[in-house]
Amino acid sequence: MSQKQINILIQGGYGAFHEQAAKDFFTNYHVNVIPCETFSDLFEELKLERYDCAIVAVENTVAGSLLGNHTLIHECSTPVVGEHYLKVVQNLMSLPGESVDSIDEVFSHPVAIQQCSLYLNKLRKKGVKITDTVDTALSAKMIRECNLRHKAAVAGIMAAERYNLSIIANSIENSKSNFTRFLILSSNKQIISHIKSRAPINKVSLCFTLPHTIGGLSRVLSILAAHKMNLTKILSLPFTGKEWDYLFYLDMVFHDISEYKIAIKSIVPYTQELKVLGEYSSGSHFIQATD
Protein backbone atom coordinates (compact mmCIF):
# COMPACT_ATOMS: atom_id res chain seq x y z
CA MET A 1 0.00 0.00 0.00
CA SER A 2 1.41 3.39 -1.00
CA GLN A 3 1.86 6.03 1.67
CA LYS A 4 -0.39 9.06 1.81
CA GLN A 5 1.30 12.27 0.76
CA ILE A 6 1.55 15.22 3.11
CA ASN A 7 2.49 18.70 1.87
CA ILE A 8 4.58 20.58 4.42
CA LEU A 9 5.82 24.16 4.35
CA ILE A 10 9.44 24.54 5.44
CA GLN A 11 11.86 27.43 5.71
CA GLY A 12 14.92 26.93 3.55
CA GLY A 13 15.70 24.79 0.54
CA TYR A 14 15.50 21.09 -0.23
CA GLY A 15 17.91 19.28 2.04
CA ALA A 16 17.46 21.71 4.95
CA PHE A 17 17.16 20.52 8.53
CA HIS A 18 13.48 21.46 8.36
CA GLU A 19 13.02 18.79 5.69
CA GLN A 20 14.85 16.24 7.82
CA ALA A 21 12.66 17.08 10.82
CA ALA A 22 9.48 16.86 8.74
CA LYS A 23 10.41 13.41 7.43
CA ASP A 24 11.33 12.19 10.89
CA PHE A 25 8.06 13.40 12.39
CA PHE A 26 5.72 12.15 9.64
CA THR A 27 7.19 8.68 9.18
CA ASN A 28 3.87 7.22 7.98
CA TYR A 29 3.54 9.71 5.13
CA HIS A 30 5.30 10.48 1.88
CA VAL A 31 6.57 13.95 2.76
CA ASN A 32 6.47 16.61 0.07
CA VAL A 33 8.12 19.81 1.30
CA ILE A 34 7.33 23.27 -0.05
CA PRO A 35 10.43 25.46 0.50
CA CYS A 36 10.03 29.09 1.61
CA GLU A 37 13.00 31.44 1.67
CA THR A 38 12.05 33.12 4.96
CA PHE A 39 9.84 32.32 7.93
CA SER A 40 7.68 35.33 7.06
CA ASP A 41 7.08 33.79 3.63
CA LEU A 42 6.18 30.50 5.30
CA PHE A 43 3.53 32.06 7.53
CA GLU A 44 2.06 34.01 4.62
CA GLU A 45 1.63 30.71 2.78
CA LEU A 46 0.24 29.02 5.89
CA LYS A 47 -2.56 31.61 6.10
CA LEU A 48 -3.76 30.61 2.63
CA GLU A 49 -4.38 27.01 3.82
CA ARG A 50 -3.21 25.53 0.52
CA TYR A 51 -0.94 23.02 2.24
CA ASP A 52 -1.42 20.48 5.02
CA CYS A 53 0.88 21.97 7.64
CA ALA A 54 4.12 23.78 8.43
CA ILE A 55 7.13 22.91 10.52
CA VAL A 56 8.99 25.74 12.24
CA ALA A 57 12.20 25.83 14.29
CA VAL A 58 11.71 27.72 17.55
CA GLU A 59 14.85 27.07 19.61
CA ASN A 60 18.28 25.48 19.61
CA THR A 61 20.37 24.25 22.53
CA VAL A 62 23.37 26.30 21.34
CA ALA A 63 21.90 29.37 19.63
CA GLY A 64 18.84 29.80 21.88
CA SER A 65 15.31 30.81 20.90
CA LEU A 66 14.34 32.07 17.45
CA LEU A 67 12.45 35.01 18.90
CA GLY A 68 10.88 36.21 15.66
CA ASN A 69 9.21 32.85 15.15
CA HIS A 70 7.42 33.07 18.48
CA THR A 71 5.90 36.36 17.34
CA LEU A 72 4.87 34.84 13.99
CA ILE A 73 3.24 31.89 15.75
CA HIS A 74 1.34 34.23 18.07
CA GLU A 75 0.06 36.29 15.15
CA CYS A 76 -0.98 33.17 13.24
CA SER A 77 -4.40 31.55 13.64
CA THR A 78 -3.10 28.04 12.86
CA PRO A 79 -2.58 26.03 16.06
CA VAL A 80 0.52 24.18 17.18
CA VAL A 81 -0.27 20.46 17.02
CA GLY A 82 3.08 18.77 17.64
CA GLU A 83 6.78 19.16 18.32
CA HIS A 84 9.97 17.42 17.26
CA TYR A 85 13.55 17.49 18.52
CA LEU A 86 16.30 16.95 15.96
CA LYS A 87 19.98 16.43 16.70
CA VAL A 88 21.77 18.83 14.36
CA VAL A 89 25.08 17.74 12.85
CA GLN A 90 26.75 20.52 10.85
CA ASN A 91 29.27 19.76 8.11
CA LEU A 92 31.60 21.83 5.94
CA MET A 93 30.98 20.94 2.28
CA SER A 94 32.27 22.04 -1.11
CA LEU A 95 32.60 20.97 -4.72
CA PRO A 96 34.57 17.74 -5.15
CA GLY A 97 38.32 18.31 -5.26
CA GLU A 98 38.40 21.07 -2.66
CA SER A 99 39.94 20.79 0.82
CA VAL A 100 39.72 22.86 3.97
CA ASP A 101 43.01 24.56 3.04
CA SER A 102 41.70 25.59 -0.40
CA ILE A 103 38.58 27.35 0.93
CA ASP A 104 38.54 31.17 1.03
CA GLU A 105 34.86 31.74 1.92
CA VAL A 106 32.16 29.88 3.87
CA PHE A 107 28.42 30.45 3.48
CA SER A 108 25.61 29.53 5.87
CA HIS A 109 22.66 30.69 7.92
CA PRO A 110 23.64 32.88 10.93
CA VAL A 111 22.30 30.31 13.41
CA ALA A 112 24.39 27.55 11.84
CA ILE A 113 27.43 29.84 11.91
CA GLN A 114 26.80 30.49 15.60
CA GLN A 115 26.52 26.76 16.24
CA CYS A 116 29.94 26.24 14.60
CA SER A 117 31.65 29.40 15.85
CA LEU A 118 34.66 27.68 17.41
CA TYR A 119 35.60 25.87 14.20
CA LEU A 120 34.76 28.79 11.90
CA ASN A 121 36.70 31.30 14.00
CA LYS A 122 39.84 29.25 13.38
CA LEU A 123 39.20 29.54 9.63
CA ARG A 124 38.45 33.25 9.99
CA LYS A 125 41.84 33.82 11.62
CA LYS A 126 43.44 32.21 8.56
CA GLY A 127 41.75 34.74 6.29
CA VAL A 128 38.62 32.78 5.33
CA LYS A 129 35.54 35.01 4.93
CA ILE A 130 32.40 33.85 6.78
CA THR A 131 29.22 35.03 5.02
CA ASP A 132 25.62 34.94 6.28
CA THR A 133 22.90 33.55 3.99
CA VAL A 134 19.20 32.80 4.36
CA ASP A 135 19.61 29.03 4.71
CA THR A 136 22.09 26.18 5.13
CA ALA A 137 20.77 24.04 2.28
CA LEU A 138 20.37 27.00 -0.07
CA SER A 139 24.05 27.79 0.57
CA ALA A 140 24.94 24.28 -0.57
CA LYS A 141 22.68 24.65 -3.60
CA MET A 142 24.33 27.96 -4.55
CA ILE A 143 27.79 26.40 -4.52
CA ARG A 144 26.65 23.57 -6.81
CA GLU A 145 24.56 25.64 -9.24
CA CYS A 146 27.09 28.47 -9.52
CA ASN A 147 30.05 26.06 -9.60
CA LEU A 148 31.79 28.06 -6.88
CA ARG A 149 35.37 26.91 -6.49
CA HIS A 150 37.24 27.57 -3.24
CA LYS A 151 33.89 28.12 -1.47
CA ALA A 152 32.18 26.01 1.17
CA ALA A 153 28.83 25.78 2.95
CA VAL A 154 27.89 24.70 6.43
CA ALA A 155 24.88 22.39 6.22
CA GLY A 156 23.56 18.93 7.00
CA ILE A 157 24.42 15.68 5.25
CA MET A 158 21.06 15.70 3.43
CA ALA A 159 22.11 18.91 1.64
CA ALA A 160 25.49 17.42 0.68
CA GLU A 161 23.79 14.38 -0.80
CA ARG A 162 21.13 16.35 -2.65
CA TYR A 163 23.59 18.77 -4.28
CA ASN A 164 26.41 16.27 -4.77
CA LEU A 165 28.92 18.09 -2.59
CA SER A 166 31.90 16.62 -0.76
CA ILE A 167 32.05 16.87 3.02
CA ILE A 168 35.53 18.20 3.77
CA ALA A 169 35.00 18.50 7.55
CA ASN A 170 32.24 16.71 9.42
CA SER A 171 30.50 17.39 12.72
CA ILE A 172 31.97 20.88 13.19
CA GLU A 173 29.31 22.12 15.62
CA ASN A 174 30.53 23.47 18.98
CA SER A 175 28.49 21.01 21.02
CA LYS A 176 27.63 17.41 20.25
CA SER A 177 24.42 18.03 22.20
CA ASN A 178 23.19 20.37 19.47
CA PHE A 179 19.41 19.94 19.25
CA THR A 180 16.80 22.06 17.50
CA ARG A 181 13.17 22.05 18.58
CA PHE A 182 10.56 22.31 15.85
CA LEU A 183 6.83 22.98 16.15
CA ILE A 184 4.25 21.59 13.74
CA LEU A 185 1.28 23.83 12.88
CA SER A 186 -1.83 22.64 11.10
CA SER A 187 -5.57 23.24 10.69
CA ASN A 188 -6.05 20.02 8.71
CA LYS A 189 -8.43 17.84 10.73
CA GLN A 190 -7.06 14.57 9.33
CA ILE A 191 -3.48 15.53 10.12
CA ILE A 192 -4.45 16.66 13.63
CA SER A 193 -6.34 13.40 14.23
CA HIS A 194 -3.35 11.36 13.05
CA ILE A 195 -0.96 13.22 15.36
CA LYS A 196 -3.28 12.95 18.38
CA SER A 197 -3.69 9.21 17.83
CA ARG A 198 0.05 8.64 18.35
CA ALA A 199 0.34 9.88 21.93
CA PRO A 200 -1.80 11.68 24.54
CA ILE A 201 -1.73 15.46 24.84
CA ASN A 202 0.52 16.50 27.72
CA LYS A 203 2.04 19.83 26.70
CA VAL A 204 0.79 23.34 25.96
CA SER A 205 2.24 26.50 24.46
CA LEU A 206 0.47 29.71 25.45
CA CYS A 207 1.07 33.42 25.80
CA PHE A 208 -0.42 36.36 27.68
CA THR A 209 0.22 39.90 28.83
CA LEU A 210 -0.02 41.12 32.41
CA PRO A 211 -1.39 44.27 34.02
CA HIS A 212 1.30 46.58 35.41
CA THR A 213 0.87 45.50 39.02
CA ILE A 214 3.39 44.26 41.56
CA GLY A 215 3.78 40.48 41.64
CA GLY A 216 1.61 39.79 38.59
CA LEU A 217 3.85 37.18 37.00
CA SER A 218 4.67 35.57 40.34
CA ARG A 219 0.96 35.16 41.08
CA VAL A 220 0.28 33.45 37.74
CA LEU A 221 3.27 31.10 38.09
CA SER A 222 2.22 30.18 41.63
CA ILE A 223 -1.27 29.22 40.41
CA LEU A 224 0.20 27.08 37.64
CA ALA A 225 2.55 25.36 40.07
CA ALA A 226 -0.32 24.67 42.46
CA HIS A 227 -2.05 22.81 39.64
CA LYS A 228 1.10 20.77 38.93
CA MET A 229 2.00 22.46 35.66
CA ASN A 230 5.68 21.82 34.88
CA LEU A 231 7.07 25.00 33.32
CA THR A 232 9.65 24.03 30.67
CA LYS A 233 10.15 27.42 29.05
CA ILE A 234 9.32 31.08 29.61
CA LEU A 235 10.32 34.16 27.66
CA SER A 236 8.99 37.65 27.09
CA LEU A 237 8.84 39.65 23.88
CA PRO A 238 7.46 43.10 23.03
CA PHE A 239 3.76 43.09 22.14
CA THR A 240 3.70 44.55 18.63
CA GLY A 241 1.70 47.77 18.52
CA LYS A 242 1.51 48.25 22.30
CA GLU A 243 4.26 50.35 23.80
CA TRP A 244 5.98 48.81 26.84
CA ASP A 245 3.65 45.82 26.94
CA TYR A 246 5.21 42.40 26.77
CA LEU A 247 3.90 38.99 25.83
CA PHE A 248 4.98 36.15 28.06
CA TYR A 249 5.40 32.85 26.22
CA LEU A 250 5.13 29.68 28.29
CA ASP A 251 5.59 25.99 27.53
CA MET A 252 4.26 23.58 30.14
CA VAL A 253 4.03 19.83 30.53
CA PHE A 254 1.22 18.26 32.56
CA HIS A 255 0.02 14.78 33.51
CA ASP A 256 -3.68 15.41 34.08
CA ILE A 257 -5.54 17.22 31.31
CA SER A 258 -8.50 18.06 33.57
CA GLU A 259 -6.13 19.69 36.08
CA TYR A 260 -4.53 21.58 33.20
CA LYS A 261 -7.90 22.98 32.10
CA ILE A 262 -8.61 24.14 35.66
CA ALA A 263 -5.20 25.81 35.77
CA ILE A 264 -5.91 27.79 32.61
CA LYS A 265 -9.28 28.96 33.93
CA SER A 266 -7.65 29.94 37.20
CA ILE A 267 -5.12 32.32 35.61
CA VAL A 268 -7.62 34.06 33.31
CA PRO A 269 -8.56 36.75 35.90
CA TYR A 270 -4.88 37.66 36.36
CA THR A 271 -3.81 37.82 32.70
CA GLN A 272 -4.67 39.76 29.57
CA GLU A 273 -4.64 38.70 25.92
CA LEU A 274 -4.38 35.05 26.97
CA LYS A 275 -3.99 32.78 23.94
CA VAL A 276 -3.41 29.04 23.84
CA LEU A 277 -1.09 28.55 20.87
CA GLY A 278 -1.47 24.79 20.89
CA GLU A 279 -1.98 21.62 22.91
CA TYR A 280 0.06 18.60 21.86
CA SER A 281 2.19 15.64 22.85
CA SER A 282 5.73 16.44 24.00
CA GLY A 283 8.42 15.24 21.63
CA SER A 284 11.42 13.07 22.38
CA HIS A 285 14.60 14.99 23.22
CA PHE A 286 16.82 12.35 21.70
CA ILE A 287 15.69 11.79 18.10
CA GLN A 288 18.81 11.98 15.97
CA ALA A 289 19.51 12.97 12.41
CA THR A 290 21.78 10.77 10.33
CA ASP A 291 25.42 11.62 11.05
Read off the pLDDT of each residue in 186-204 and give the average, rounded to a whole number. Answer: 94
Confidence bin at 242 (pLDDT 50/70/90): confident
Return the closest-CA partner of residue 16 out of 204, 210, 154, 183. 154
Task: Give 3's DSSP letter.
Answer: P
Please give the single-letter amino acid code of residue 193: S
pLDDT of residue 245 exceeding 90, the answer is no
For helices 39-48 and 67-75, angle between their N-to-C axes, nearest 10 degrees: 20
Predicted confidence (pLDDT) per residue in 47-82, tens digit: 999 999 999 999 999 889 999 999 999 999 999 999
Q: For residue 276, what pLDDT band results from cuts at 50, 70 and 90?
A: very high
Domains assigned to the chain: 4-87+178-198 (3.40.190.10), 91-169 (3.40.190.10), 203-280 (3.30.70.260)
Phi, psi of 113 (to 5 degrees): -65, -40
Task: Return the pLDDT at 177.
Answer: 92
Give the percent of the chain with pLDDT over 70: 97
The pLDDT of residue 291: 34
At 15-59, the pLDDT tens digits run 999 999 999 999 989 999 999 999 999 999 999 999 999 999 999
The helix, strand and coil proportions of the chain, stated in percent and rounded to the nearest 5, come to: 35, 35, 35
Q: Is the pLDDT of residue 239 over 70?
A: yes
| Whether residue 261 has pLDDT greater than 60 | yes
Q: What angle do CA 237, 9, 62 make, to 5 degrees?
A: 45
pLDDT on residue 3: 77
> What is the pLDDT, as a whole number, of residue 2?
58
pTM: 0.91
Q: If you average pLDDT over every residue of the chain, what do you get?
A: 94
**pLDDT tier for residue 289 given thresholds of 50, 70 and 90:** very low
- Tens digits of residue pLDDT in 77-100: 999 999 999 999 999 999 999 999
Confidence of residue 286 (pLDDT cuts 50, 70, 90): very low
pLDDT value, residue 40 = 97
CA 277, CA 208: separation in Å to the nearest integer? 10
